[in-house]
Amino acid sequence: MNILVTYDVSTETSAGRRRLRQVATACKNYGQRVQLSVFECRVNEAQYEAFRAQLLSIMDSKVDNLRIYKLSAPRDRCLECYGVDKYVDFDEPLIL
């Protein structure tokens, strides 16, 4: 399943800045950053549940916002991208 994860973490306190780093690290473990607070991820159902639970345990629902969008089609069919796209398709051959 392809998902889009977006977040807005309050960084007015040191605890908020710590949560921001924790959310970003968790997201990097499941996908890749496509904008500062936006990650595209490909997960199975079990990974999705674990990932979602991890993110919910980090965030402070009183001041932070987390959005997870389940994409109904493959990335290339539901995305229009303009400008620089740093996305790497890990299903394609990697040439070094």
Domain limits at 30?
Answer: 2-73
The model carries a pTM of: 0.83
SS3 96: coil
Q: Is residue 92 part of a domain?
A: no
Q: Is residue 96 part of a domain?
A: no
pLDDT of residue 56: 97
Which pair of tokens denotes residue 16?
């908020």
pLDDT confidence bin for 72, thresholds 50/70/90: confident
Q: What is the CATH number of the domain that holds 57?
A: 3.30.70.240
Q: What is the side-by-side strand order in the sheet with 2-8?
A: 31-35, 38-42, 2-8, 65-71
What is the count of structural domains for the chain?
A: 1
Which pair of tokens denotes residue 65?
């916002």
Distance CA 63, CA 69 (A): 20
Q: Is residue 80 part of a domain?
A: no
pLDDT tens digits for range 6-65: 999 999 999 999 999 999 999 999 999 999 999 999 999 999 999 999 999 999 999 999
SS3 52: helix
